[in-house]
Amino acid sequence: MVKVSIGVPVYNVEEYLRACLDSIMNQTFKDFEVIMVDDGSTDNSFNICQEYVTRDNRFKLFHQENKGNGGARNTCVKHMHGDYIVWIDSDDRVKLNYLERLLEIQKETNAQIVNSMFFRIERGIEYYLDYTPIYPELKTIEISNLDALKSVLFDKYLIIELWGALIDSNLYKGCFCSQGVRFEDLGSKFKLYTRTNKVALSPEQLYGYRQREDGTMGSTNQKKNYMKELEIMKDVLVNLERYIYYMEIMNADIGDFYSVAIDFVSTNSMYRVNKINNEEDKQKFLNYVDKYKEKLKRYWNI
């Protein structure tokens, strides 16, 4: 048994992979294992992973046909043995004291989920963000599992991503990541919030999130066609319904959340529709979303 299991889903990231794995290998905290799952890469990613398996016996490598991020994470979980689970995306990198600080905060707070904040990496430059609106005193705060869950829709605390967090591995028993949909973080992490004792939130920027145009979700400026944006919106709606379901089974007082959820759909749809060029397609997209919102209103009695 090791203290921390680090999951690294890998898919066609040869340009960034060594920086990611080096930041893991050189952690100040040493009692960890790294579970790398090559999700059917067609570039040199698999061979790079093999190099690290040869160099460091804490690194383990598994290969599978492409199943997407959720499928790769589920394979990682099956092979993990740590007391805690940490996710690091294979194009990102972390501060060398990343594990050490997360474990220190966990010991101080006894929280089963510890989240840290992130800095952006864009074109090789690190950008540090102002988190004082969330953390006025820039100190660690603690919130209940229900408060964490309630923050999910508009991500008040920036804690919906699976990366950037130390999570008690017991929370993963019988719990797997969503597969076959985009935004598997949104569709997966809130399940863990239903189980945790509490959540600790640190303003320390320990995780480096790389923003790149060829990432899983593509460029934020890229104009996509109607069918592509509609597929993305459908995945958003699937995750939304799952989220409300988990709120309901927690017996949360969510009367107001039905309206908040509708507002979330409206906000998200306006963001997506602006990526569609054709005016007729834009209207078709909005008509679909309007009909879906009406269905949700009937279902939720609002």
Residue 41 domain flag:
yes
Q: What is the CA radius of gyration of the chain?
A: 20
pLDDT for residue 155 is more than 60: yes
Q: Give domain status of residue 76, yes or no.
A: yes
Residue 215 has pLDDT above 60, yes or no: no
Our CA angle for 36, 38, 41, nearest 5°, is 150
For residues 239 and 188, state if they share a domain.
no
Residue 10, number of CB atoms within 10 A of its CB: 26
Residue 218 pLDDT > 60: no
Q: How many domains does the chain have?
A: 2
221 pLDDT higher than 70: no
The average pLDDT across 252-268 equals: 85
230 and 204 together in one domain: no
DSSP of 219-274: -TT----HHHHHHHHHHHHHHHHHHHHHHHHTT---HHHHHHHHHHHHHHHHHHHT
Decide if pLDDT at 217 tops 50. Answer: no
State whether 167 and 46 are in the same domain: yes
Single out the residue in 181, 210, 239 at which a domain terminates: 210
Going from the C-alpha of 292 to that of each of 30, 104, 147, 266, the distances in angstroms are 50, 45, 27, 11
Given pLDDT bands bounded at 50, 70 and 90, which one contains residue 181? low
Same domain, 17 and 158: yes
Residues 53 and 18 in one domain: yes
Q: For residues 159 and 150, what is the distance between their CA atoms, to the nearest angstrom? A: 11
Q: Which domain holds residue 269?
A: 226-300
Residue 186, pLDDT above cutoff 80: no
* Distance from the Cα of residue 142 to its chain's centroid: 20
- Flag the least confident range among 66-70, 219-223, 227-231, 249-253: 219-223
Same structural domain, 269 and 185: no
Q: How far apart are CA 256 and CA 247, in angstroms?
A: 12
Same domain flag for 35 and 144:
yes
Residue 118 confidence (pLDDT): 97
If asked whether residues 126 and 255 sit together in one domain, one would say: no
Identify the sign of the CA torsion 141, 147, 152, 154: negative
187 shares its domain with 233:
no
pLDDT value for 187: 60
- Contact (CB, 8 A) for 144 and 250: no
- Of 3-17, 122-136, 194-208, 214-228, least confident by mean pLDDT is 214-228
> Which CA distances in Å does 268 have to 23, 159, 198, 244, 288?
34, 18, 29, 16, 13
Question: pLDDT, tens digit, for every residue of 288-299?
Answer: 999 999 999 998
Assigned domain for 152 exists: yes
- 86-103 residues labelled b (16+ CB within 10 A) or e (exposed): bbbbbbbbbbbebbebbb
Is the separation of the CB atoms in 45 and 11 below 8 Å?
yes
pLDDT over 70 percentage in the chain: 92
Same domain, residue pair 239 and 203: no
What is the DSSP annotation of 167-211? EEGGGGTT-----SSS-TTHHHHHHHHTT-SEEEEEEEEEEEEEP
How many Cβ atoms are within 10 Å of 136's Cβ, its own excluded? 10
